[in-house]
Structure 1
Amino acid sequence: MREYIIPFDTNNTPKEYTDVVIVGCGIAGLYTALMLPSDIDVTIVAKEPYKETNSYLAQGGIAAPCDKFNDTKEMFFNDTMVCGRGESDTEAVNILVNEAMDNIIQLEKLGVKFDKDDNGFLLGKEGAHSVSRIVRSGDSTGKSVMEALYHLAKSRENINIRENIFVIDILTYANKSTGILILDDGRVKSIFSKYTIINTGGIGNLFEQTTNAKGINGDGIAMILRANGIVRNMSYLQFHPTVFYNNSSLKQSFLISEAVRGEGALLYNERGERFMEKVHPMKELAPRDIVSLAIMQQIKKQITPCVYLDITHWNEEALKLRFPTIFGFCQRNNINMAENLVPVAPRMHYFMGGIKVDINGKTSIKNLYACGECSCTGVHGKNRLASNSLLEAIVFGRRIARNIKENIYDIIDNDKDIRIVNVDSSYKIMEDEHTIAKWMGQYFGIDRTIAKVKQLENKINKAYCNAKKTNIICREEIEKVNMISVIKAIINDDLNKKITKKTNLN
């Protein structure tokens, strides 16, 4: 029996109807909507404005095998598989590699401007890539893509974008998605749809410090868990190695793109020693998990809680041209990248696990799809290759659109009313979000052990047991319940994997 988080009756709430409802307004959601035929009505709902998505923050670019630098699809495939630590899904990676460039070209047709010269794309290089293959738009690729897609979607008559709408739950009947339950300006409403697509992003804000935008709490994953949907690899988290370090209490941390190291930046500890040479043959461009762990090991041996990124071999004008966003941020924090070392430390960045989907984005619940960071296609395995995240979103988003197009006209009626009187999930977590996120940082970091994870488990279980039953329908309280349920799934997956493999390290 599935759970809902609040009691409701769709007979007594305002109802809306659409062909496809998309939850989330990042690249995955916008691109999927634009790939659907114009005679299909699409409603996009998002709890934050489009500029407050992880997609908008993305700096580096989109990986794709190009003709330059003797790159091949086979090389890109191998780089992705190696980075995934042998746990990437072969079929999904093949699809990613083979459909990459077609989707880059499609983005251009939709109005996205990438950096080019007379010979084609200007390609960047990032960690664990054997050649330069990152298609980019300055150092704010996500912003460029999002601006183009968002404004194009707004202009389409069949696409209705509604921001600042909180999705409470997925509506299901007989293990079939029928739409969503929303909180709109304090009122509970239902949106019935033939298909539902979850694009809610990752789980970054489960941590005290993260590169993620605010509101990225794993909401979509929590909704899937309540609907008895299948998730996988919930403990596979990626910490970005080079996030700007300061003493600020701000939760969202500024990422120093991997592309900076791709342009020759080096890492030094507080003693001025370059340490990555002894760690991995690719040195500063080793896979992210290796670089992050190496940095944490350095931090443990020194007083300073950070290491330093050095790109002072570039002059100021060149840095402003190549990395305008990053240079400007550092300058506002009294650091001139052309003259000063940049303090960096690892922070929670990306989620490789999530809602289990097939190669067409289908979840275990009929008529329900998931795409982007909230989904788990199996592409990333245990560790994501740099700049494969936006690529995964567009490749599988287009496949979802194609699959819906092939089947939607066969669905006649999908608006079954639902009445839920008693719920077990409607309760108030007494701890605040900051406390919960602080626990994750303390006990579920890069170097976590079984003992630490069990300490976290005890705290989460205690928070759950101390929760108070409530009838208050409030976004903040629902978000905390979502956080707890996702963390419990992460802990269970982590302990199961560690016990199975008899190892302490992730």
Structure 2
Amino acid sequence: MERSFDVIIVGSGIAGLSFARKVADLGSRVCILTKKERAESNTNYAQGGIAAVTSDSDDFELHIQDTLTAGDGLCDEQVVRTIVREAPERIQELVDLGVKFSQLEDGRVSLHREGGHSKRRILHVKDLTGKAIEDALLHAVETHERITLLEHVHAIDLITRQKLAQPDHPVDAKENRVLGLYGYDTRQGKVATYSAPVVMLCTGGVGQVYLYTTNPGIATGDGIAMAYRAGAEIRNMECIQFHPTAFYAKADDRFLISEAVRGEGGILRNLRGEEFMPRYDERRELAPRDIVARAIDSEMKKSGARHVWLDISHQSEDFLKERFPHIHAHCLEYGIDMAREAIPVVPAMHYLCGGVKTNLHAETGVTGLYACGEVACTGLHGANRLASNSLLEAVVMAHRGALAVHEFIATQKYPDLRLPDWLDGDLQDSDERVILSHNLDELKRTLWDYVGIVRTTKRLERARTRIQNLKREIHDYYWNFKVEPGLLELRNLVEVAEMIIQCALQRQESRGLHFTLDFPDKNPTATETRV
């Protein structure tokens, strides 16, 4: 069965929903595919807020310079300037949609400061900003007559001219273009064909490639892996941001303790109760995330501790309940009253600064293929994302992408092709699913142990050997059994893991989020890594 649209969007976070609403308003028939429920996305878990210049005491140049400083020489300055300057208009659109950013008692917007920012410029909705934005965008999308939203459909692979070409008539890379994709309906257990001249990838990040992550279970790198298999360029995959302060629990899941807690005066202490950040950076707790994460990692390794403490008990209980209701309630569930005692925290994988290479119109190198949000590498974040710039990038690039796609559809001639159906042949359902769970566990532990906050060439080479072996096993499994969600995600995760390691081995220097003991200094001639 083939279903046809003008635009297919994979993912239902802030990037996908923002883009869908705008491109549908311009007249396109849009289909959003999400592999879980529509509200399950990284956006929904974003606590901190969205960075933008909205105060008279702030200005664009300060935000630009803060972003460039955090990016450690890898940012594209034109991209930074464009996104920062277009931010206020996009923020106003969110307000017009019904997002009610927190306000002070006098009616002014409440602005908070996070690590790396020279001014208070973080708009927020208490400590559930992402959920508030997601709810507003979902309402706008669900009521739009040109938008179809399909839940529990897992995108498998993009369909391109290259993939459909006969061996004796290959298609040149310049003539390659997207024709649609295959999607697995997890409720019906069937694969359907979706055709469109445009596919927009908004699939989020890769957090589940690591053992400990603040990302939800859906963050399995699907968009990056699909784009790579379709011929798109992938960049800077070694730039993995570990959030310094995830709640420490014995379970693998790591609940995020927002950077805004440090912005409101939270102090990091080792298990002896000593403040340690002054020894690592003059900005102390408000240093960029890579510095804070490495400082915590160093303190833990020196003492053998499993965590450090984040202490904000000097603030009143009323203040903490008002500013951080979600975090306060969660800590209480684990027996921690943050108004009276310190919170146990550890770093956890949080955000990918690399991804599918795009320009300022969200275009990739494959005609008809676009990417927006964490899946994309625009050049905004460089080697290290400035706090709360991610939601900002998503709304600005969704707007710019919608305008570009509208023009593309109006001017491009789409080939009139009937796409082939998915063929399972005589493949059977697997009775060896233990292989999937075992390989997933080995993959996540390999990345955590060998490709973490502090790296060495020897560790990276060991990781590469293990991941290549896993990739062969998973590849054989994929071609011998019918597809299922766990297999599709594992296939993408092992592909992403290999990219991260390849890029990390390419970067023979320490810059931003990539720190290696073998090359502790910065190489002034180094540029982007790519696969």
TM bucket normalised to smaller: over 0.9
Amino acid at match of 2:379: G
Structure 2 Cα separation of the partners of residues 421 and 48 of structure 1? 21
Deviation at 1:499, TM superposition (A): 7.5
Q: Aligned partners of 1:233 and 1:337: how far apart in 2?
A: 37
The TM-score normalised by the length of structure 2 is: 0.88
Gaps of 5+ in 1: 1-13
The one-letter code of the counterpart of 1:441 is W
Residue in structure 1 matching 2:446, options 439, 446, 450: 439
1:100-125 CA-partner distances (Å, limit 9, x unpaired): 11100011111211112445311011
Specify the code of the residue in structure 1 equivalent to 2:217: K
Cα contact 1:37–1:405 (8 A) shared by 2: no
**Counterpart amino acid of residue 381 in structure 2:** H
Contact 1:193 1:415 in 2 (8 A): no
**1:160, distance to aligned residue in structure 2 (A):** 1.0
| 1:370 alignment counterpart | 371
Contact 2:267 2:275 in 1 (8 A): yes
Partner of 1:84: 71
2:90 alignment partner, one of 89, 103, 112: 103
What is the TM-score with the length of structure 1 in the denominator? 0.93
Matched, 1:331 2:341: no
| Structure 2 counterpart of 1:192 | 195
8 Å contact from structure 1 (residues 449, 505) kept in 2 = no
Contact 1:239 1:350 in 2 (8 A): yes
Pairwise CA RMSD: 2.1
Can you list the C-alpha shifts for 1:57-88, whole angstroms capped at 9, x where unaligned? 000000001224x2110000000000001111
Matches of 2:65 and 2:264 in 1, distance apart?
A: 22
Asked if the contact 1:52/1:214 (under 8 Å) is kept, the reply is: no
2:507 counterpart residue number: 497
* Secondary structure of the structure 1 residue equivalent to 2:303: coil
Q: 1:480 aligns with which of 481, 487, 490?
A: 490
Superposed displacement of residue 299, structure 1 = 0.2
The alpha carbon displacement at 1:487 in A equals 1.1
Q: How does 1:13-412 map to 2 (within 5 A)?
A: 14-38=1-25, 39-68=27-56, 70-117=57-104, 118-173=106-161, 174-184=175-185, 185-248=188-251, 250=252, 252-412=253-413
Deviation of 1:407 (Å):
2.8
Equivalent position of 1:470 in the other structure? 480
How far, CA to CA, are the matches of 2:13 and 2:177 in structure 1? 25
Distance in 1, matches of 2:452 and 2:96, equals 41
Cα gap change, 1:452 to 1:312, in 2 (>3 Å): same
- Matched AA of 1:489: M
Aligned sequence identity (%): 39
More divergent stretch after superposition (274-283 vs 386-395): 274-283
Tell me how far apart the structure 2 counterparts of residues 314 and 24 of structure 1 sit (CA, whole Å). 39
- Is the CA contact (8 Å cut-off) linking 2:510 and 2:519 kept in structure 1? no
Q: CA deviation at 1:412?
A: 4.6
Which range moves more in the overlay, 124-133 or 493-502? 493-502
Please name the residue that 2:165 is paired with. Answer: none
Indicate the SS of the match to 1:131. coil
Distance 1:422 1:457, change over 3 A: farther
Q: Could you say if the C-alpha distance between residues 227 and 500 of structure 1 is closer, same or farther in structure 2, counting changes exceeding 3 Å?
A: farther
- The alpha carbon displacement at 1:33 in A equals 0.9
Distance in 2 separating the partners of 1:414 and 1:314: 63
Number of aligned residue pairs: 488
The reply to whether residue 452 of structure 1 matches residue 459 of structure 2 is yes
Per-residue deviation at 1:164?
0.8
Q: Over residues 442-498 of structure 1, what are the superposed CA-to-partner deviations in whole Å (9 max), with x where a residue is unaligned?
A: 111101111111111111122233453414222211221111111111111111112
For residues 322 and 45 of structure 2, what CA distance do their matches in structure 1 show? 19
CA distance in 1, matches of 2:509, 2:90: 40
Given that 2:182 and 2:422 are in contact with CA atoms closer than 8 Å, whether structure 1 keeps it comes out as no
Alpha-carbon shift at residue 52 of structure 1 (Å) = 2.1
Alignment check: 8 A CA contact 1:26 1:56 kept: yes
Residue equivalent to 1:5: none
- Superposed CA offset, 1:159-217 (max 9, x none): 11111110001111141111111111211111111211000001000011100011211
Matching residue of 1:3: none
Q: Secondary structure in 1 aligned to 2:406?
A: helix
Instruction: State the AA in 1 paired with 2:202.
Output: N
Q: Distance in 2 between matches of 1:294 and 1:80?
A: 21
d(CA) in 2 for partners of 1:196, 1:187: 21
Tell me the SS of whatever aligns to 2:488: helix
Give 1:318 shift: 1.2
C-alpha change, 1:325 and 1:292, in structure 2 (3 Å) is same
Query: Once the 2 structures are TM-superposed, how far is the Cα of residue 315 of structure 1 from its aligned partner?
Result: 1.2
Q: Is contact 2:42–2:216 with CA below 8 Å preserved after alignment?
A: yes
Between the aligned partners of 1:95 and 1:499, the Cα distance in structure 2 is 29
Contact 1:27 1:393 in 2 (8 A): yes
